Amino acid sequence: MSDTIKLIYNGEEHEFPVVTGSQNEKGIDIKKLRGTTGLVTLDPGFKNTGSTTSGITFLNGEQGVLRYRGYPIEQLAENASFTEVSYLLLYGELPNKEQLADFDRDLTMHTLVHEDIRNFFLAYPSKSHPMGQLLSIVSSLSTFYPESLDPNRSNEARQLTMIRLLSKFPTIVSWIHKKSVGHPIVYPKNNLDYVSNFLNMTFGQVTDDAEVDPVIASAINKLLILHGDHEQNCSTSTVKIVGSSHANLYASVSAGIAALWGPLHGGANQAVLEMLENIKNDGGNVDKWLDKAKDKNDPFRLMGFGHRVYKNFDPRATIIKKSADEVLEKLGVNDPVLEIAKKLEMAALNDDYFKSRKLFPNVDFYSGIIYRAIGFPVEMFTVLFALGRLPGWIAQWKEMRDLKTPIGRPRQIYTGETERQFVPLAQRK
């Protein structure tokens, strides 16, 4: 089979190489397209455009396959800890015992956040959205670590920044939660593992440690792993495009948090719960809401449904749905929105509109039900997505820098006015 593609334009033939990935994925290498033909490509939303080669995450949307560094997501979610998976994403291999102990120790050593950051919480309005707080605090970390601004510092120094961000993130997230409920912050504890420490800072009090329920710790561990990476999605691409200008890691990740916030991306988990609540309060008539989602004159979309890449099922959603059943049962929580969610899913899966467009529940459809059963307010859901996605953002940022990726700078097809003469103000109509 040919590994080049021919393009005939203006009677001239041009040949471009076809690049093949390790899973036999193929793409046309158009690096020389503009130079040889004068043409650019036009692909709004990058539906057909590969921005990079990458060795981190493999995804086959037709078959519902997701693997980190070759390991199936199902096996990682069942057997690994979140820090093990973070190590895998960052360094390419599962850690051995000693490597994991070192990594966990490094993460523990940097959990404290500069005391001045506490002052930020005095300034935010009490009802401000946690994602707004998260992105500004993460960006502000760069002001506390000015050495991180140097794009050419040593690998060790860059590694320290990555560890700092991973370690401090759960502390920051828990403080944001404390702000929203009006409780004093709880400091990290070095004897606790990553997830237990996060849960203790979130649900413990200065007066008493939280009794971390293993059911909850295991559910959070699984959810974080499932969100760990998802190749070149909107927020990751944002992290990388910002990082491609050699902006520091804190600023790059902060931009990724902003991208994640949108309801078409990570913000969908909050939107799903709000939608399910609305359906419940409206009498639970799921058909009425399906009709709204199908109506092209109605901006309403079925939140937690559909995916740019998955066109069969989202393997993360399959795991999360099972986990939601288990967690609610083990915690003895009877949440009526779970029933609404299942009815809605069943109705949509049997509806021609959704079937013909290959719209299935995605990762966000059931995750909020678990977060709510655990006790998180709905505004915190996307922050929890960010906590899970963090190692993926960092790993992809690191790979982008290691590959010496040029600055991200798309082209365009200009459709505005052609040249015209300036009209002085007095002469304008």
Residues of this chain that bind ligand CMC (CB under 6 A): 45, 230, 233, 264-266, 268, 293, 301-308, 357, 359, 362-364
CB-based closest residue to ligand CMC: 306
Task: Take residue 18 and report the two structure tokens written for it.
Answer: 């076809």
CB of 353 to ligand CMC, least distance (A): 7
**Which of 192/380 has CB closer to ligand CMC?**
380
Catalytic site includes residue 307: yes
CB of 300 to ligand CMC, least distance (A): 8
**Which of 362/396 has CB closer to ligand CMC?**
362
Catalytic site includes residue 364: yes
Single out the catalytic residue among 129, 227, 230, 307.
Answer: 307
Write the DSSP assignment of 328-390 as a string of letters. Answer: HHHHT---HHHHHHHHHHHHHHT-HHHHHTT--B-THHHHHHHHHHHT--GGGHHHHHHHHHH
**Which of 204/364 has CB closer to ligand CMC?**
364
CB of 131 to ligand CMC, least distance (A): 14
Task: Take residue 361 and report the two structure tokens written for it.
Answer: 């529940």
CB environment 110-137: b (16+ within 10 A), e (fewer):
bbebeeebeebbeebeeebbbbbbbbbb
* Pick from 174, 169, 165: nearest CA to 206: 174
d(CA 342, CA 286): 10
Contacts of 370 (CB under 8 A, 6+ apart): 219, 223, 320, 323, 324, 327, 328
Task: Take residue 228 and report the two structure tokens written for it.
Answer: 């760990």
Single out the catalytic residue among 229, 314, 351, 364.
Answer: 364
CB of 257 to ligand CMC, least distance (A): 13
CB of 303 to ligand CMC, least distance (A): 5
Q: Are 90 and 158 in contact (CB under 8 A)?
A: no
Q: Are 163 and 398 in contact (CB under 8 A)?
A: no
Task: Take residue 393 and report the two structure tokens written for it.
Answer: 């953002």
Residues marked as catalytic: 307, 364
